[in-house]
DNA sequence: CCTGTAGGTATGTTTTTTGATACTAAGTAC
DNA sequence: GTACTTAGTATCAAAAAACATACCTACAGG
């Protein structure tokens, strides 16, 4: 998402929102939060339907924002492990709080 | 954002995320949270750069999700007031928590 | 040599979201 | 009757995000 309006006091909001703002970022973080570390192809399998390009981009963004860590091991075949950083782990309960809110208020809209 | 993957246990997440997921939804809620009620054109002026089409769509989505209320008064010229519902007000501190997180962790990425 | 695995990249297309521009209705003020 | 206001709508164009497909490197197994 590209922002061009002035965000003097919303700037941290923009930052936060960019972290959770991609289509796959939230599911991705959910899976990462359930695993100490996880490998690229395992992640890809768990995120059913994601393409390699999109997964790679999402991971790069999360890494650039400091919430995900990438560790490559010089093994054969190559092993690459992804995990949440401390900053990323801090974000998880906040996301969960918003999800809990969703759980409480979704029924008001469309009963299920 | 359109989701097509299976979200059995992420469904409230999808809901929550759709609420805050548009480019203007967060700024819009921020302004709504600062005013008891606010009129369409005032909102438009405060959200510098938004087009009528986009503002109208964003408001419709927020209303459909139950976080914003629209009240039209049969005056001349027509007056329409927007405000947060109770459910919308509950969401505000949660969003703020995520923004606070952003404020704490943004500096780690790019000093300012 | 051919195939398979892991972790991607390159290139182009489609889908989704947002924006630009013009226009509308109803009434008041001039 | 012309202009101005509010709160939008309609139509089309542009931009952004995601997807599809093919391909790459390095090594192992057969």
Q: Which domains does chain B have, with CATH numbers?
A: 19-108 (1.10.10.10)
The protein residue nearest C9 (Cα–C1') is A53
pTM > 0.95: yes or no: no
CA of B92, C1' of C22: distance in angstroms: 37
CB contact under 8 A, B26 and A17: yes
CA torsion sign for A101, A47, B25, B93 is: positive
Residues in contact with A77: Cβ distance below 8 Å, sequence separation at least 6, in sequence order: none
Q: Evaluate whether B24 touches B50 at the Cβ level (below 8 Å).
A: yes
| Residue-wise pLDDT tens digits, A21-32 | 999 999 999 999
pLDDT at B110 over 60: no
For residue B14, what pLDDT is reported? 84
Where residue A12 falls (left for φ over 0; alpha for ψ -120 to 50; beta otherwise) is alpha
| Residue-wise pLDDT tens digits, A36-78 | 999 999 999 999 899 999 999 999 999 999 999 999 998 888 9
Q: Is the CB of B27 under 7 A from strand C?
A: no
């Amino acid at each position: 998402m590209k922002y061009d309006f002035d965000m003097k006091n919303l700037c941290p909001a923009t930052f936060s929102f960019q972290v959770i703002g991609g289509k796959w970022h939230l599911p991705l973080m959910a899976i990462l939060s359930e695993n100490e570390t996880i490998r690229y192809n395992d992640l890809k399998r768990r995120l059913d339907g994601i393409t390699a390009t999109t997964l790679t981009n999402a991971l790069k963004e999360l890494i650039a924002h400091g919430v995900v860590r990438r560790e490559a091991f010089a093994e054969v075949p190559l092993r690459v492990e992804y995990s949440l950083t401390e900053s990323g782990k801090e974000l998880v309960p906040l996301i969960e709080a918003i999800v809990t809110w969703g759980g409480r208020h979704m029924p008001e809209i469309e009963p299920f």
